[in-house]
Structure 1
Amino acid sequence: MDNHTSLTADVTGGVDTHKDLHVAAVVDERDRVLGTRSFPTTRQGYRQMLAWMRSFGRPVRVGIESTGSYGAGLLRFMQAAGIEVMEVTAPDRHDRRKRGKNDDLDAQNAAHAAFAGHRTVTPRSRDGMVEALRVLRVCRKTAVNARRIALQMIQNTIIAAPDGLRDQLRQMTRMQLIRTLAALRPDLTTYRDLEAAYRISLKSLARRYLELHDEIADLDVMIGAIVNELAPELLARNSIGQNSAGQLLLTAGDNPERLRSEASFAALCGVSPVPASSGKTVRHRLNRGGDRAANSALHIIAIGRLRTDDRTEAYVARRVAEGHSKLEAIRTLKRYIAREVYGVIMQRQKQINATGIAA
């Protein structure tokens, strides 16, 4: 479909993203589909896509699926080109059942959603220090998981090891055990012998554990430096450590101004109150939506303050005395903390925008 309109007309784009090919669609000012085409996921492909969209008119907005994964490169390209980008969320299942599914339809649905402003959110910009923080934290998380697996394998291997070897190792602390195993000098030519095979395996696992341990320590230094630079005021607050602060910065993103209010930040963190009233009973329940990692960070902060801050302890005690459960009191406390965190992050973002610290 290539029914070109006036080049001065406003058009809206939509993109269904994939690993190797993106499928783009364009709709006109009346939300009519003007064309659909595929482009490679390269910078040249992005340029061709934008030129193709401009051949129909002036792109005022582009809806992109999966801006945090397959669409991340296209997101950065479009933002650098001055195009407003909206992240398109999952399509309506009822509509999909009626119309069916293929890549062209998905791209057209993304364009329709961007045109109407339905199923769209302002995406994180993913071009600053918060994105660098995210990448490092993801790397650290996988390293921690791999280290835990290595330790589990060491423990399981020792349980099944020959008695003589097992008796030498079972009374050691974790790091004593790891360093002892890493220092073993088994004869590699005797790997057919059972005990020698166990010693070779345990040495390999212990060295793997230590390498991952050092890797995590290096990543912690880099992550800590970014968090300290981005949010020193957040770290100065009671019970907010580097891990919690880092997660809340990730949730807010490089462009927290996309969040319209502290209420939207609370909803994003899954701490906004959800009505659960029935009949004469009026109450709210925990919100099980939102970013669960951010919710967990707020919960850790709330528990920390409940243990260390007299005012927080008195507040929770008062809520419980009023007939609320302790869990409901903590939910309310998390909502207040989200408001506090949002204010600190937005104030810091104004400073960053003024000084260009994260450029």
Structure 2
Amino acid sequence: MLGAPSPLRDELVELSKRTLVNHCLQLQPETENLLELAGDPQRLHTAGTATSLRDLARRWKTLDEEIKSLNRQIAELVRAAAPALLELKSVGIELAAQFLFTSGDNADRIRSEAAFAKLCGVAPQPASSGRTAGRHRLSRGGDQAANSSLYIVTIARMRHHQPTRDYVERRSAEGLSKREIIRCLKRYIAREIYTHLPRPADPEATDQLHAAA
């Protein structure tokens, strides 16, 4: 759009995304046969840009509808597989789907909540040195997508969940850094997530888990 003729660019530049798409869908090039304008570069530029923007808007609209349809199906699968997971604070459809995917793809490795924490890369490991003692860091291994999902839940709760805010304030007063507090919260949330996952021992739940993944 930056290369569009000034009148057309000025017409579109301040529109919001969806308004822009809908506006571009209504664009009417001077002619569909651009060869007719070959002798007039300015009119050719305007008509060619309008045609391109209209076609791009049509593609965007089609893909947007496909995404919405897929998201609805994912939401239905997640609700069927793990309704309890969605009741947890700050765990929405996309995050719940990631936890289900991680669990369903590694069902044989998850035998306890500690194993799930390790798989998610939030199992604490000693990080003491000659000058420090009792310090820990999170594991660098595991499923990074699940680790990222835990981080998103943690940050959301730190901002909007009063019990979590109280915990942060208390641990800060005890001298823990923000990074250490996040590490503790991610480990706690991993434990909470694990207890609300479908149990692989249940054949029906296992089928739902793999279907959602």
Smaller-chain TM-score bracket: 0.7 to 0.9
- State the alpha-carbon separation in 1 of the partners of residues 172 and 65 from structure 2: 45
1:243 equivalent in alignment to 2:94: yes
1:47-62 equivalences under 5 Å are: none
Query: 1:171 Cα deviation (Å)?
Result: 2.3
Comparing both structures, which one devotes a greater share of its residues to strand?
1
1:20-99 equivalences under 5 Å are: none
**One-letter identity of the residue aligned with 1:261:** S
Partner of 2:33, secondary structure, is helix
- State the alpha-carbon separation in 1 of the partners of residues 55 and 205 from structure 2: 49
**One-letter identity of the residue aligned with 2:45:** L
Partner of 2:197, secondary structure, is helix
Q: Contact (CA 8 Å) 1:257, 1:346: kept in 2 or not?
A: no
Partner of 1:290, secondary structure, is coil
CA shift in 2, pair 1:355/1:294, >3 Å:
closer
CA shift in 2, pair 1:281/1:166, >3 Å:
same
Q: Contact (CA 8 Å) 2:82, 2:198: kept in 1 or not?
A: no
1:153-168 equivalences under 5 Å are: 158-168=1-11
**One-letter identity of the residue aligned with 1:242:** I
**One-letter identity of the residue aligned with 2:63:** L
Look up the match of 1:169. 12
Look up the match of 1:142. none
Candidates 85, 91, 107, aligned match of 1:256: 107
Aligned residues: 200
**One-letter identity of the residue aligned with 1:333:** L
1:303 equivalent in alignment to 2:147: no
Partner of 1:159, secondary structure, is coil
Structure 2 portions without partners, runs of 5+: 39-43
Query: 1:257 Cα deviation (Å)?
Result: 4.9
Question: How large is the RMSD of aligned CA atoms in angstroms?
Answer: 2.0
Look up the match of 1:231. 82
Structure 1 portions without partners, runs of 5+: 1-157
**One-letter identity of the residue aligned with 1:213:** D
**One-letter identity of the residue aligned with 1:232:** P
CA shift in 2, pair 1:311/1:258, >3 Å:
same
- State the alpha-carbon separation in 1 of the partners of residues 9 and 25 from structure 2: 16
Partner of 1:285, secondary structure, is strand
1:315 equivalent in alignment to 2:177: no
- State the alpha-carbon separation in 2 of the partners of residues 263 and 206 from structure 1: 48
**One-letter identity of the residue aligned with 2:18:** M
Query: 1:167 Cα deviation (Å)?
Result: 1.4
Q: Deviations over 1:179-232 (max 9, x none)?
A: 111122222102541111111111111111111111110001000000000000
TM-score (norm 1): 0.52
Q: Contact (CA 8 Å) 2:4, 2:46: kept in 1 or not?
A: yes
- State the alpha-carbon separation in 1 of the partners of residues 6 and 206 from structure 2: 63
- State the alpha-carbon separation in 2 of the partners of residues 355 and 328 from structure 1: 35
CA shift in 2, pair 1:355/1:170, >3 Å:
closer
Report which structure shows greater RCO (CA 8 Å, sep ≥6). Answer: 2
Q: Deviations over 1:282-323 (max 9, x none)?
A: 211233321111011111111222223222111122222121
**One-letter identity of the residue aligned with 1:265:** F
**One-letter identity of the residue aligned with 2:183:** R
Q: Contact (CA 8 Å) 1:235, 1:245: kept in 2 or not?
A: yes
- State the alpha-carbon separation in 1 of the partners of residues 25 and 17 from structure 2: 12
CA shift in 2, pair 1:201/1:185, >3 Å:
same
Q: Contact (CA 8 Å) 1:256, 1:346: kept in 2 or not?
A: no
TM-score (norm 2): 0.86
- State the alpha-carbon separation in 1 of the partners of residues 204 and 12 from structure 2: 58
1:209 equivalent in alignment to 2:52: no
Would you identify which runs of 4 or more consecutive aligned residues in structure 1 move more than 3 Å? Answer: 354-359
- State the alpha-carbon separation in 1 of the partners of residues 86 and 71 from structure 2: 15
Partner of 2:194, secondary structure, is helix
1:179 equivalent in alignment to 2:22: yes
Comparing both structures, which one devotes a greater share of its residues to helix?
2
- State the alpha-carbon separation in 1 of the partners of residues 128 and 106 from structure 2: 36
Query: 1:170 Cα deviation (Å)?
Result: 1.5
Look up the match of 2:41. none
- State the alpha-carbon separation in 2 of the partners of residues 328 and 207 from structure 1: 48
CA shift in 2, pair 1:255/1:170, >3 Å:
closer
